[in-house]
């Protein structure tokens, strides 16, 4: 089911979130990620999945913004 036409621009589909959950569930090293806040855009880059429409949202975490503007 493609819900991309019903979404606001720049937002992720529920399936994108589901892909993150399914990928994490299959990760044998999952325990290394427990107790942390995980950014789904970062997980998508780490594990290589995208949204239904092929979109890979930007990482907007504070650490990512800091890295981008470091001189």
Rg (CA), the chain: 14
pTM here is: 0.75
Residue 70: is its pLDDT beyond 80?
no
Residue 17 CA from chain centroid, whole number:
7
H helices within 3-52, ranges in order? 14-25, 40-47
- Going by pLDDT thresholds of 50, 70 and 90, the confidence category of residue 12 is confident
Q: What is the pLDDT of residue 62?
A: 76
Residue-wise pLDDT tens digits, 19-58: 999 999 999 999 999 999 999 999 999 999 999 999 998 8
Q: What is the pLDDT of residue 35?
A: 94
Q: What is the pLDDT of residue 5?
A: 62
Domain ranges of the chain: 11-69
């Amino acid at each position: 089911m493609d819900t991309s036409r019903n979404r606001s621009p720049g937002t992720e589909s529920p399936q994108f979130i589901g892909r993150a959950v399914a990928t994490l569930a299959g990760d044998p090293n999952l325990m290394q990620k427990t107790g942390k806040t995980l950014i789904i855009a970062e997980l998508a880059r780490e594990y290589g999945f995208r949204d239904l429409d092929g979109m890979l949202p930007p990482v907007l975490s504070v650490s990512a913004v800091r890295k981008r503007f470091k001189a």
